Amino acid sequence: MRRCIICVAASAALAVPLLAGPPDDPEVAADRRLQNSFTAAAEEYHVPRSVLMGVSYMETRWDSHRGAPSVAGGYGPMHLVDSRPPQPQPQSAAGPGSGASHAGTAGPLSSPEPSPSGSRSVQPADLQRAARLIGAPPGRLRTDDEANVRGGAALLAATQRKLGKPLSDNPADWWESVVRFPGTGDTASATTYANDVFAVIRRGADRTTDTGQHVTLPASPGVRPKTPRPQDAGRPKEVECPTELTCSWLSAPYVEIDEDNYGNHDLADRPRDQKIDYIVIHDTEASLQSMFQTVQDPTEASWHYSIRSSDGHVTQHVRTKDAAWHSGNQFVNARSIGIEHEGFLRQPDAWYTEQMYRTSARLVRFLAKKYGVPLDRQHIFGHDNVPAPTAASIPDMHDDPGPFWDWRHYFDLLGAPLRSTAGPDSALVTVLPDYATHKPRFTGCTKAGVPCAPHGSSAVRLHTEPNEKAPLIQDPGRRPGGEGSTEDVDDLGSRVSAGQTFAVAGRSGDWTAIWYQGHKAWFSNPKAHPTAVGATGQMVTPREGLSEIPVYGRALPEEDAYPEGMEEQTESPLPYSLRAGQRYVTQDRVVGSYIDRSFFADQPDPVVTGQEEYYEIQFGHRLAYVRARDVDVVNGPEDAAGAAGAAGPSATDGARPAQPEKARDTAGDTG
């Protein structure tokens, strides 16, 4: 049963017997000690437990990260900030195609710098002060969850007293203390933070933390403090952001470098000349200071937005109407918005903060609504899901935000939760491991070949047979020399990610096979702890009479569509096979297009739009495109027995299943 979701329910439905003994009582269930710590600290410092738990949820979702600090120096479930923390050191064990998004380099970090014209935390929940308030050494608050929670409660109570307010048992009376807890230096961000805390208090929450603690906050739907509306104070006119976020502007240059080169983005008139179909999630693999230098360099890459790890502050660099150079695929760049998140994929606990997740989700919701981008994993995806435009470019494609980005939580925040839409025997499955408890083995976080510390992950690993000892699925495009896939944190050759949906190719006991880059790929999917759930949707399969069809990393127009004088683009099929009988999930149909980016100009280049239509498919870890005229579209019946699911573990790749149910092809032109 999945626990790590916000539960919308009545208080009675969420209420559970709370343990009354002290946190170190041996009779207290091991997985309830944190729950008990919240109760005890709330009673000791006369803070409503819902307020204490709501603040902690907003800071860390009750996770402790096992004593590791965030980049802001925050520790424990309350994210108490130590003014003298040991700073996390960026690691780089990367090789070709690594997670590094751009050319910025990262050395040892000092505390985060503010964005241009942006706010920064001025007086965060101070660990040193909290230690003095509870009479404990600061080191204990860094590593002991009980002491950390007591420190948070003491800080809230001290703020309430300083404001001249009573230590009331009514959560609504604590609004101003909650506003001040994170030390956010601007009214809009502080108000949004408090609104989020009280939204959690009203809805309630129930999840298992990163240390296996089961924590429940009963819903209190009647708690509604009188709150001011977030105000947009002094926002630059160029900025495109929701009103509840604090956003800055730092322009990326569009300039001519010499007669043959220009940088660092392209003028466009989207969505009038080109529809925006995608939003691409990156991490920086560099400090934000370094990234700001990169985005202002016309010889470097560009992206639309940067989000700071410590507090989620947003800086915009390129107007969304223009096309940034961020994905490594010009076709995707022309149709997408790129968002960089300050962080390193090997250090998720330090960098992938709750404030960054929440700010990013707010921004993406705003952009998706504005441009009609569907909230699914074929339209909201990582840099690691971008297809290579040509076969030769596959080894150089990037791997961020990596296996530790919590896609399940992110889509919960987007208001589009990833979930089952069909029964367990469906013809399609959506990858959906429980992030907190699903901890596949990875190497390379600190040094090549060295195992990473166990950590929750969105990634599920694939094998050639239904056996943990079977070889991993190979990616001939990523490793053209024939080397095998590995467990390295940057190696995407044999894994899938939460929210991606695939056609079932077989089942054997607790194992499920999917069609993946032209082969049958197996993953462990036990009923007791599933890593994938049933799904519905459309699939494509080679049209009857075709034994094999090409797969592309971009959707180009046909030859006749190019105007006279413009060089036609050469098609470069990817080095994979999509053979008869195989199926791949599609969630979009596009028309081939191309924009000539050869010369610097003072107005957008025209978009070459053809008549050739393509389906976007989930072909492997990355997306891909197939010509519409090469495929039949089939609906996924809920029972896979009559389709690909009937294939047993010994079935040959490409064996045609029973005749698929034909569906009317009514997908609209999204090009």
What's the CATH code of the domain at 57? 1.10.530
Q: Kindly report the average pLDDT of the chain as a whole number.
A: 87
The predicted model gives 281-285 an average pLDDT of 98
The predicted model gives 294-313 an average pLDDT of 96
Confidence of residue 37 (pLDDT cuts 50, 70, 90): very high
Residue 671 or residue 449, greater confidence: 449
How many angstroms separate the CA atoms of 180 and 546, rounded? 65
**242 assigned to some structural domain:** no
The predicted model gives 104-112 an average pLDDT of 35
Q: Report phi then psi at 106, rounded to 5.
A: -125, 130
Confidence of residue 229 (pLDDT cuts 50, 70, 90): low
pLDDT at 230 over 60: no
pLDDT at 111: 36
pLDDT at 8 over 80: no
The predicted model gives 349-367 an average pLDDT of 97
What angle, rounded to 10 degrees, do the helices at 145-162 and 127-134 form?
Answer: 90
pLDDT at 479: 85
Confidence of residue 1 (pLDDT cuts 50, 70, 90): very low
**533 assigned to some structural domain:** no
pLDDT at 232: 53
pLDDT tens digits for range 63-89: 999 889 999 999 999 999 997 655 544
How many angstroms separate the CA atoms of 385 and 397, rounded? 9
C-alpha neighbours within 13 Å on the C-beta side of residue 614: 24
Confidence of residue 260 (pLDDT cuts 50, 70, 90): confident
**285 assigned to some structural domain:** no
pLDDT at 109 over 50: no
pLDDT at 25: 54
**490 assigned to some structural domain:** no
How many angstroms separate the CA atoms of 148 and 324, rounded? 43
pLDDT tens digits for range 560-575: 999 998 999 999 999 9
pLDDT tens digits for range 110-167: 333 444 444 444 468 999 999 999 999 999 999 999 999 999 999 999 999 999 999 9
Counting residues of the chain whose pLDDT is more than 70, the rounded percentage is 84
pLDDT at 663 over 50: no
**Furthest-apart CA atoms within the chain: distance in Å:** 81
Residue 116 or residue 309, greater confidence: 309
Confidence of residue 24 (pLDDT cuts 50, 70, 90): low
Domain hosting residue 561, numbered range: 539-638
**606 assigned to some structural domain:** yes
pLDDT at 256 over 60: yes
- The residue type at 534: G
pLDDT at 286 over 90: yes
Confidence of residue 184 (pLDDT cuts 50, 70, 90): confident
pLDDT at 636: 79
What is the number of other CB atoms lying within 10 angstroms of the CB of residue 297? 16
C-alpha neighbours within 13 Å on the C-beta side of residue 538: 18
378: alpha, beta or left? (left if phi > 0; alpha if psi -120 to 50) = alpha
**332 assigned to some structural domain:** no
pLDDT tens digits for range 419-473: 999 999 999 999 999 999 999 999 999 999 999 999 999 999 999 999 999 999 9
**306 assigned to some structural domain:** no
| Total-model pTM | 0.88
On the 0-12 / 13-18 / 19+ scale of CB atoms within 10 A, 316 is buried
The predicted model gives 655-670 an average pLDDT of 28
**659 assigned to some structural domain:** no
The DSSP call for residue 67 is: G
The predicted model gives 267-295 an average pLDDT of 97
pLDDT at 480: 80
Residue 667 or residue 213, greater confidence: 213
pLDDT at 418 over 80: yes
Counting residues of the chain whose pLDDT is more than 90, the rounded percentage is 78
Number of domains, the chain:
2
pLDDT tens digits for range 487-528: 999 999 999 999 999 999 999 999 999 999 999 999 999 999
The predicted model gives 634-640 an average pLDDT of 67
3-state secondary structure 476-534: CCCCCCCCCCCCECCCCCCEEECCCEEEEEEEECCEEEEEECCEEEEEECCCCCCCEEE
